[in-house]
């Protein structure tokens, strides 16, 4: 017997709640309400059947909460003393993560959340692992709500690529080329090559003179060391001067010593690096480009190569390594990829090129 499906309604703001109620709702079955202050909507809640509803971290009057629980709804209470909302309904942006930067990076939510994760990263700390898991679930849910009408193209590469360098400029041009071709650029969200790709996407609507101006301003603070605050402030200044859609980034507090770049328009920051890596590579269905990098980039290459190795022709994702000398001599990943791909559908999905122009052509 096939059970009837219950339509889900995701409610992530008070305004959305009010619209649904005003439309004449009499039952909350299938409602998923995340982190909404409903303390002023008790009368509305008491007037509806709560069966099958789910409240995640919402503010409720005692009477409303008792009604929901007694009537078959499920209430997940807020978790106290957290520097973040474990039930948030949307992704981050740079303004939120770097709020308070004028008082130093340590004053920002990004730094405070990283400090919390380090302080509570102890074996057996159930409250920490539960809060982190709930947060990452909320981020994953918000990520699925981003529009996907444009192919998502992943750009991976080293965090050590300095602003003002030739490699940084090349990554900016790559991001701009991909965005101009109608793709959504998605990166690991960190500094270096990842920042450059998101910056390039944000400059898609600007000419070369604007790009040169942005790069010149950023070159004054080439790295997040020794000062994250100075590095982020320079980026925020450029973003205000040249606003644009910088695509998506998926960073992690696991690498909290590397701050997230400010140019991605949507930032899906996770606690779990394993979950973040899986989501990042799974969402980049249009293909993934790998600029020169080190251990982290190598890990991402083979994490993406594994499903290609075991997959058929229909499931292949283009994997493009950029930098022949780097991937054959410095870190000889390419020969191993070739050996794995021999006589398999994967052989047609891996590419080695030397320039961003060649890479963009393969993806576009």
Q: How confident is the model at residue 128 (pLDDT cuts 50, 70, 90)?
A: confident
**Cβ within 8 Å of residue 290, ≥6 positions away:** 156, 157, 297, 300, 301, 319, 320, 321, 322, 327
Would you mind telling me the total number of residues written for the chain in this entry?
Answer: 364
**Cβ within 8 Å of residue 172, ≥6 positions away:** 196, 197, 199, 200, 203, 211, 215
Confidence at residue 129, expressed as pLDDT on a 0 to 100 scale: 87
Displacement of CA 145 from its chain's centroid (Å)? 12
Distance CA 285, CA 152 (A): 6
In sequence order, the β-bridge partners of residue 320 are 289, 351
Confidence at residue 363, expressed as pLDDT on a 0 to 100 scale: 83
Tokens of 272: 């779990």
Whether the link from the prior residue into 124 is cis, omega within 30° of 0, is no
Confidence at residue 81, expressed as pLDDT on a 0 to 100 scale: 87
| Cβ-contact 93, 142 below 8 angstroms | no
Distance CA 4, CA 346 (A): 41
Q: Is the pLDDT of residue 223 over 50?
A: yes
Q: Is the pTM of this model over 0.85?
A: yes
Q: Is the pLDDT of residue 124 over 70?
A: no
Q: Using CA of residue 178, residue 180, residue 182, residue 185, what is the dihedral sign?
A: positive
Burial class (CB in 10 A: 0-12, 13-18, 19+), 122: exposed
Confidence at residue 1, expressed as pLDDT on a 0 to 100 scale: 44
| Cβ-contact 192, 158 below 8 angstroms | yes
In sequence order, the β-bridge partners of residue 350 are 319
| Neighbour-count burial for 37-47, b at 16+ CB within 10 Å, e otherwise | ebeebbebbee
Q: What is the pLDDT of residues 193-214, one digit of tens each?
A: 999 999 999 999 999 999 999 9
Cβ neighbours around 138 below 10 Å, total: 23
Q: Which element (helix H / strand E) includes 238? A: helix 228-241
CATH of domain 152-363: 3.40.50.450
Confidence at residue 160, expressed as pLDDT on a 0 to 100 scale: 93
Q: Is the pLDDT of residue 281 over 50?
A: yes
Q: Residues 6-22: what's their mean pLDDT?
A: 91
Confidence at residue 3, expressed as pLDDT on a 0 to 100 scale: 43
The sheet with strand 54-56 has its strands ordered as: 9-11, 31-34, 54-56, 74-76
> Mean pLDDT, the chain, as a whole number?
94
Instruction: Indicate left, alpha or beta for 85 from its phi (over 0: left) and psi (-120 to 50: alpha).
Output: beta
Name the DSSP letter for residue 74. Answer: E
Give the helix, strand, coil percentages of the chain, each rounded to 5.
Answer: 50, 10, 40
CA dihedral 199, 201, 205, 211 (to 10 degrees): 30
In sequence order, the β-bridge partners of residue 186 are 154, 248
């Amino acid at each position: 017997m096939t059970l009837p499906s219950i339509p889900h309604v995701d409610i992530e703001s008070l305004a959305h709640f009010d619209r649904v109620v005003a439309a004449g709702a009499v039952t909350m079955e299938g409602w998923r309400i995340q982190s909404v202050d409903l303390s002023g909507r008790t009368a509305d809640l008491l007037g509806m059947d709560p069966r099958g509803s789910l409240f995640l971290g919402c503010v409720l009057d005692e009477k409303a909460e008792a009604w929901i629980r007694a009537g078959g709804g499920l209430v997940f209470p807020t978790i106290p003393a957290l520097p973040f909302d474990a039930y948030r309904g949307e992704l981050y942006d740079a303004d939120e993560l770097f709020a308070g930067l004028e008082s130093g990076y340590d004053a920002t939510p990004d730094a405070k959340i990283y400090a919390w994760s380090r302080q509570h990263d102890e074996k057996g700390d159930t409250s920490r692992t539960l809060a982190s898991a709930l947060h990452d679930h909320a981020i994953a849910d918000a990520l699925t709500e981003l529009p996907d009408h444009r192919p998502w193209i992943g750009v991976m590469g080293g965090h050590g690529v300095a602003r003002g360098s030739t490699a940084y400029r090349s990554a900016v041009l790559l991001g701009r080329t991909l965005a101009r071709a109608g793709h959504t650029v998605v990166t690991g969200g960190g500094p270096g090559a990842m920042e450059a790709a998101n910056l390039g996407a944000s400059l898609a609507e600007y000419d070369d003179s604007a790009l040169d101006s942005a790069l010149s301003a950023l070159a004054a603070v080439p790295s997040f060391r020794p000062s994250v605050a100075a590095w982020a402030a320079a980026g925020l200044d450029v973003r205000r001067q040249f606003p644009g859609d910088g695509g998506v980034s998926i960073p992690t507090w696991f690498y909290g010593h590397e701050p997230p770049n400010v140019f991605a328009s949507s930032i899906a920051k996770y606690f779990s690096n394993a979950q973040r890596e899986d989501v990042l590579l799974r969402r980049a269905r249009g293909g993934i480009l790998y600029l020169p990098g080190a251990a982290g980039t190598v890990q991402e290459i083979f994490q993406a190569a594994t499903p290609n190795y075991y997959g058929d022709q229909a499931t292949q994702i283009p994997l493009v390594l950029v930098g022949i000398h780097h991937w054959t001599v410095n870190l000889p990943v390419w020969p191993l990829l070739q050996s794995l791909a021999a006589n398999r559908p994967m052989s047609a999905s891996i590419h080695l090129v030397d320039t961003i122009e060649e890479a963009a052509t393969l993806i576009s």
